[in-house]
Structure 1
């Protein structure tokens, strides 16, 4: 059984602008500052144009490099990917994560639900992984959405 995390935010800007930011390898690192032991993203390297099957390398502030593989890309409504390549000590708890960004038009803006389903390495690791993820990754996700809100408001 996986560990599910959800962060939500309403944006007062067009859905296309929000989708563009959450999929932009150049701009997204600035809006993911991390939280506690969850490192900030410093750089994203794409293996080619963003498409289903494409891969991204996520270079983090702690020196780790994670791999993302896009498995859903439906602009401007949905963007989903598999996150892997964790290093110890996180790798002792979690095998991979499945992220899903779902955007819905909402009046003059949009609503975003960003979820993750993390797969623990074992039943024994699940409670520890749950504590770590709920205590730090979920707030990192919510903080990221808040930073996106600020960045998009600053461009208006």
Structure 2
């Protein structure tokens, strides 16, 4: 499986603008700019795509971990917050990633859930490429 993303850009770093897209119709020509990435103005950002990718990757990893111990999830709902800022060198840097997950998995104990969630947090394919500490709040629903 190969996933392909695209981007266009015109102009300077702070005054220019561009688009970000996926090869599939998932995400097409979403406008982005310096201000949409660093100042919170409307528009997309590569970090938003990263957060979405990590949430989806985490969910599948958690479902797989439940399956490896003989259970199946009824539901898994995850959000990921990626914080973009500046590193000590003054260059843009992803400062943190934080996973919040609520899962319903009949028969899974709290201990099993914590093990599976922690394993998903550290071993999903997106998490393995990030060089930052990934925080997490995991809630097993009754």
Query: Normalising to structure 1: TM-score of the pair?
Result: 0.37
Q: Which has the higher strand share?
A: 1
Q: Which has the higher helix share?
A: 2
Highest RCO, 1 vs 2 (Cα 8 Å, sep ≥ 6): 1
Larger Rg: 2
Query: Normalising to structure 2: TM-score of the pair?
Result: 0.40
